[in-house]
Chains A and B, each alone.
Chain A
Amino acid sequence: DTEVTQTPKHLVMGMTNKKSLKCEQHMGHRAMYWYKQKAKKPPELMFVYSYEKLSINESVPSRFSPECPNSSLLNLHLHALQPEDSALYLCASSQGKWRGVLRTGELFFGEGSRLTVL
């Protein structure tokens, strides 16, 4: 069982809709990530938040808008998506620094949100 919780598990939306994906972790991790994964492909990094600040944006189109309201929550706001954006969206977290030392950085993933854009 994962300690990173993602909702909803499935989402179907039209190209004009606005929706959000949510992610929550209670492991005290200070880094949180959004990945996009197409079928039978590796995850592709989209965004990284470190201590609630956006630290990496992998040139993701503006129709994807991340938000980190606090250290436990991560949202991905979706607007005017295209059918090719249909994918599994994975949230992950990692420990970050502890006592000033960067931890080894393994990521803990949620089960994902399966998005279908019609």
Chain B
Amino acid sequence: AQSVAQPEDQVNVAEGNPLTVKCTYSVSGNPYLFWYVQYPNRGLQFLLKYITGDNLVKGSYGFEAEFNKSQTSFHLKKPSALVSDSALYFCAVRDHREGTGTASKLTFGTGTRLQVTL
């Protein structure tokens, strides 16, 4: 079984400050980890993923995430937040063995609302 925890329902940060959105995961095998962002009444947009290799992954819109195997974490970060970053952020995990052979069965966290203020 695989699971994801996003311990914060909401994160508040001032524009220009760094932001972190936390995510921890649990899988039996090697994890594939993803971050998605959702703006109101919109679909989910893919931000970045960790599969293997460097623990620091860079993604869209200046976001990055750090994979920490010992802490089973994959926190989303951005050095300088923008008001336009305000949205709902979902972390997702997939055991590299999970799925039907062609399809992915992702498990999503409960989401963290990021509020960036001026």
Contact = CB atoms under 8 A, between A and B. Distances in A.
Interface residues of B, number: 27
B52 to A, nearest CB: 9
Give the contact-size bracket for chain A. Answer: 20 to 34
A90 B110 CA distance: 16
Chain B binding surface SS class:
loop
A74 B47 CA distance: 24
Chain A binding surface SS class:
strand
Chain B CB within 10 Å — which of A33, A96, A107, A108 has the most? A107
B102 interface: yes
Contact of A94 (B43, B44, B104, B109): B104
Interface of B: 32, 34, 36, 41-46, 49, 51, 88, 90, 94, 99-106, 108-111, 113
